[in-house]
Amino acid sequence: MCYTKNPDMENVTMRNRKSAEQPKAKHEPTLADLYTLMVSIDKRLTSLEQDMKLRVSEIENSLDEAHKTIADQENRIKILQGHIQDLEKIQEKNKIEQEMCSKEYKLLFHGIPQTETKEVQEQTEHLVRSFITNTLRFPPAEMEKMPFSNVHRLPKRVSAVVSRNNDRAKLAP
- pLDDT, tens digit only, all 173 positions of the chain: 455 555 555 555 555 555 555 555 566 889 999 999 999 999 999 999 999 999 999 999 999 999 999 999 999 999 999 999 999 999 988 887 777 666 666 777 777 877 777 777 788 888 888 888 888 888 988 888 888 877 777 766 555 555 555 545 444 44
Residue count of the chain: 173
User: Does residue 114 lie in a domain region?
Assistant: yes
Other CB atoms closer than 10 Å to residue 126's CB: what's the count?
13
Q: Which of 101, 130, 161 is the last residue of a domain?
A: 101
User: Does residue 117 lie in a domain region?
Assistant: yes
Name the residue range of residue 62's domain.
30-101
Domain count for the chain: 2
Does the reported pTM lie above 0.85? no
Residue 132's pLDDT is what? 87
User: Does residue 127 lie in a domain region?
Assistant: yes
Are 70 and 55 part of one and the same domain?
Answer: yes
Distance CA 47, CA 73 (A): 39
Indicate the residue type of 25: A
User: Does residue 112 lie in a domain region?
Assistant: yes
Encode burial over 26-49: b for 16+ CB neighbours within 10 A, e otherwise: eeeeeeeeeeeeeeeeeeeeeeee
Cβ-in-10-Å burial (0-12, 13-18, 19+) of 137 comes to exposed
Q: Which of 72, 101, 130 is the last residue of a domain?
A: 101
User: Does residue 161 lie in a domain region?
Assistant: no
Residue 169's pLDDT is what? 47
